[in-house]
Amino acid sequence: MPEISRRAFGGLVGGGAVTAVAGTATTAEAAGSAPAERPFKARPATSGKRPNLLVILGDDLGWADLSSYGAPHIRTPNLDRLARQGVRFTDAYSGSATCSPTRFSLYTGRYPGRTPGGLAEPIANRTQGLDPSHPTLASLLKKAGYSTALIGKWHCGWLPDYSPTKSGWDEFFGNHGGVLEYFSKLGQLGDYDLYEGDATYKDLRYYTQVLTERAVEYVGREHHQPWLLNLNFTTPHWPWLAEGDEDTGAGIAAKIRAATTPAGITAALLHNDGGSVEKYTEMVESLDAAVGEVLAALRRSGQEENTLVYFASDNGGERWSYLWPLSGEKSSLLEGGIRVPTIVRWPHRVDGNQVSHEPNFSPDWTATFLELAGARPDPAYPLDGTSLAGYLLKGEQPPERELFWRVRANRALRRGDWKYYQDAAGADHLYHLSADNREQADLAPDRPELLAELKAAWERTNAGLLPYPAA
């Protein structure tokens, strides 16, 4: 284990990265050939052009599923290298606990409950989606002179009413739904779900590689203006298939075609009769390899220095994910359902080998990207996120604020190190995350006044959101 200061060690423990402190260092670092991670510190300001924005999402990737976050059995050298070249965030969260609400929060910079489509957890039919009239990260950047593209999983509504190209992205290549079989491209509505723009595109190869090739092509182009690329992989979301598993995929596709109800299609895609820790490891490692290919193309293009790369998961992991020491998983607002691996690299403005314990969540990054690009939010649709630009570039501390989450079954709010959580039975809990990121020591009986204060804060925010429709 590399030498590490007492302060840095305390920060790792406080930030929740104690899956093993050695999990923050690669083999090379442990051997002394690379510098150890240090607490984040902004670099003195330098001038430069507005950055390109490469925003990469994994799908259902758990907080500790990367070796740089503590996974003992998964090797992710490309994402670990990205972390060494930038900042690894230990206390970063998704905007919700499932796929489409988080995407709403990232695309709009607002709580999912601000819009009717964001109330679906997740979107599962053609009547739900992101209203094309609502401003998005893409539409706002487009007004500021950016080219915009989305490659991969959209999951904010199906044609004919909803599509990335209706919401500000110049280009779209990917799937509209939340899940598909990786080879046949049959999705959750039972039909073929791979599109280029608004037209189907036939390609029966492994989906992760298909998306990677498109992303490599995009970043390698000769761009004449700054660009935003949302690269949304479906990996490692079920069904549990890696490259070479065509036969297993064909069996799932046959079940989808034979299904006579939406529940039957979902059951086929859930793949509850398949998968393993080893298969999941293979999928995560294929995601890492895919990201590595895209980053290599970015380097070859000469744009690496002034491209901000953001990598995160859309929510917590499930079934085969490695989440230790967190409790909970996807769909819940316990830490394992919403705390996600998050890495930011921008060589021109941000130093590498750094770790940050600053709490943040998806809408914050929308606000950050807009500020860095010189784009203005629409005043009619105020953001719920707080820009981290001043923190990243000037060392300013973000203003004191609360991180808020709401799903049908749970509620949660984080203020500093304190977290208020209400479970599905309606019982209220209070956790001090720096001392107990596993959420096992319920301090609600000991701190009733603080519990009441945080609960009231949650209620105030909730009062401004749309109510859920009757179940």
Has residue 11 got a pLDDT over 70? no
Band of the pLDDT at 8, cuts 50, 70, 90?
Answer: very low
Q: What's the pLDDT score for residue 282?
A: 98
Q: What's the pLDDT score for residue 414?
A: 98
Has residue 6 got a pLDDT over 60? no
CA dihedral 291, 351, 42, 418 (to 10 degrees): 40
CB 136 within 8 A of CB 108: yes
| Cα distance between residue 102 and residue 109, in whole Å | 10
Band of the pLDDT at 33, cuts 50, 70, 90?
Answer: low
| Cα distance between residue 238 and residue 231, in whole Å | 18
Query: Which sign, positive or negative, has the C-alpha torsion 289, 164, 102, 135?
Result: positive
Query: Hey, what amino acid is at 275?
Result: G
Q: What's the pLDDT score for residue 72?
A: 97
**HSE-up of 158 (CA within 13 Å, CB side)?**
17
Q: How far is CA 198 from CA 153, 175, 194, 275, 443, in A?
A: 14, 10, 10, 33, 52
Q: What's the pLDDT score for residue 47?
A: 73
Q: What's the rounded mean pLDDT across residues 307-322?
A: 98
Each residue's pLDDT tens digit, 338-355: 999 999 999 999 999 999
- Three-state DSSP class for residue 310: strand
| Cα distance between residue 307 and residue 305, in whole Å | 6
Q: What's the rounded mean pLDDT across residues 333-341?
A: 98
| Cα distance between residue 39 and residue 330, in whole Å | 29
Q: What's the rounded mean pLDDT across residues 450-471?
A: 96
Band of the pLDDT at 34, cuts 50, 70, 90?
Answer: low
Q: What's the pLDDT score for residue 4?
A: 31
Each residue's pLDDT tens digit, 56-89: 999 999 999 999 999 999 999 999 999 999 999 9
- Percentage of the chain lying above the pLDDT 70 cut: 93
Band of the pLDDT at 91, cuts 50, 70, 90?
Answer: very high
- Percentage of the chain lying above the pLDDT 90 cut: 90
Rounded to 5 degrees, φ, ψ at 66 are: -105, 145
Residue partners of 26: CB distance under 8 A and separation at least 6:
34, 67, 68, 77, 80, 84
Q: Which of 84, 8, 69 is nearest to 39 (CA)?
A: 8
Band of the pLDDT at 12, cuts 50, 70, 90?
Answer: very low
Has residue 321 got a pLDDT over 80? yes
Average pLDDT, the chain: 93
Each residue's pLDDT tens digit, 98-116: 999 999 999 999 999 999 9
Query: Hey, what amino acid is at 263?
Result: A
Q: What's the pLDDT score for residue 5?
A: 32
| Cα distance between residue 342 and residue 38, in whole Å | 16
Question: What pTM does this model have?
Answer: 0.93
- Higher-confidence residue of 10 and 316: namely 316
Tokens of 329: 């998983």
29-33, 284-288, 399-403 — most confident range: 284-288
For helices 207-219 and 277-301, the axis angle rounded to 10 degrees is 10
Band of the pLDDT at 44, cuts 50, 70, 90?
Answer: confident
| Cα distance between residue 359 and residue 346, in whole Å | 20
Has residue 29 got a pLDDT over 60? no
Has residue 45 got a pLDDT over 80? no
Range list of H helices, 313-470: 335-338, 362-372, 389-394, 448-462
Band of the pLDDT at 311, cuts 50, 70, 90?
Answer: very high
